[in-house]
Amino acid sequence: MHANSWSDFLLLIGLRYFIIASMAWLFWYVIFKKRISFRKIQLKFPSNKDYQREILFSIATIFIFSLVPTVLLLTPIRQYTQFYTYPGIYNAHTLYFWLAFPIMYVVHDTYFYFTHRLMHHPKLFKAFHLLHHKSTNPSPFAAFAFHPLEAIVEAGIFPILLFIMPLCKWHLFAFFLVQMVYNVYGHLGWEVYPKGFNKSWIGRWVNTSVNHNQHHHYFKGNYSLYFLWWDRIFGTLRTDYDQAFQEVKSRKK
Ligand SMILES: [Zn+2]
Ligand SMILES: [Zn+2]
């Protein structure tokens, strides 16, 4: 896998979004729709206008995101990052190579939580974040539906990671692939974790689709991305979260 130009990054990020979001949409919103619609977190379905807005702004986000690795990795700025060419010093036989993944998710989760809360500040909300919240009943295509100003904020994780820790192309590729899958899952509209997961020892600390769906529905509380510890530490986890999770997973046809 080689990305040597801006158009390579554009294609990579674009394909990642469209393939993963479209597959989720095809399975949940088309093929299995009839059989599973009673379990949809919000029973109604997004309108065509919602899909159009989500896809249009996601395309703008893809353009913005593609500029970031172009500038950081394909210009002399690269020498100031910690990016290394695989195998380099940390190949797949080193502990660091594998340890880098959980570190990246913890850093991203922290960056996301605090910038997300900042963008909910009344002075910033309209300009940065209102667009994402127009999806009060999000579909998988909402994953990248950001106002360009928010897209720039979200892109900030890329330089942060590259400046603070040694990373190679496989770190970036796998990290952003899993990030996309989890992002699409967060906006899926259905909960895929099993009943009781929210109360389990691991589920208490892991973000779910019900959790982020509540954030879109009510605008308040549940600001997390992958984990729930920041929401729990700062008391921003919605008090009706457990009840909502239980309700969605207990529905009968
Ligand atoms: Zn928000
Ligand atoms: Zn969202």
Q: Which ligand is nearest to the CA of 221?
A: 1
Distance CA 73, CA 70 (A): 6
Strand partners, 206: 227
Q: Which of 194, 56, 75, 70 is nearest to 135 (CA)?
A: 56
Q: Check residue 36 and give its pLDDT.
A: 97
Which residues, 6+ apart, have CB-to-CB distance to 122 below 8 Å?
A: none
138 upstream amide cis, omega within 30 of 0: no
Q: Which ligand is nearest to the CA of 146?
A: 2
Ligand 2 centroid distance, CA of 12 (Å): 22
Which stretches in the chain have pLDDT values below 50?
Answer: none
Q: Which ligand is nearest to the CA of 189?
A: 2
| DSSP H or E run through 61 | helix 48-73
Ligand 2 centroid distance, CA of 153 (Å): 14
Q: Check residue 1 and give its pLDDT.
A: 67
Ligand 2 centroid distance, CA of 212 (Å): 6
Domain residue limits, the chain: 6-193
State the CB neighbour count (10 A cutoff) for residue 128.
23
pLDDT tens figures, 146-202: 999 999 999 999 999 999 999 999 999 999 999 999 999 999 999 999 999 999 999
Q: Check residue 105 and give its pLDDT.
A: 98
**Residues 131 and 145 sit within 8 Å (Cβ to Cβ):** yes
